């Protein structure tokens, strides 16, 4: 498991030059109900087949 960060820390980091990529791993219905602005929506069961969409040169935060 990776490191955990708080919502406040994520908010602060998203305002910086080295903003992390946010990936919402919930299903499409939950994503449509509300999500972090700018988050990529990649359901957890699709992650392994969509790894090429995830930048390797930035911090990645999943929720």
Q: What is the pLDDT of residues 25-60, one digit of tens each?
A: 999 999 999 999 999 999 999 999 999 999 999 999
Distance, CA of 2 to CA of 7 (rounded, Å): 16
User: pTM of the entire structure?
Assistant: 0.83
pLDDT at 14: 92
**pLDDT at 26 (0 to 100):** 96
Looking at the DSSP bridge assignments, the partners of residue 62 are: 23
DSSP code of residue 19: P
Q: Can you give the pLDDT at residue 60?
A: 93
Query: Which among 51, 33, 16 has a CA at the least distance from the CA of 5?
Result: 16
Domain 19-62 has CATH 3.40.250.10: yes
What is d(CA 21, CA 18) in angstroms, rounded to the nearest whole number? Answer: 9
Strand partners, 41: 24
Q: What is the pLDDT of residue 2?
A: 75
Q: What is the mean pLDDT of residues 8-27?
A: 92
Tell me: pLDDT of 62 over 90.
yes
């Amino acid at each position: 498991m990776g490191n955990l960060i708080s919502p406040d820390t994520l908010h602060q980091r998203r305002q910086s030059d080295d903003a992390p990529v946010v990936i919402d791993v919930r299903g499409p219905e939950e994503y449509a109900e509300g999500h972090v602005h700018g988050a990529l929506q990649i359901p957890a069961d699709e992650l392994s087949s969509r790894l090429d969409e995830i930048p390797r040169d930035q911090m990645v935060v999943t929720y």
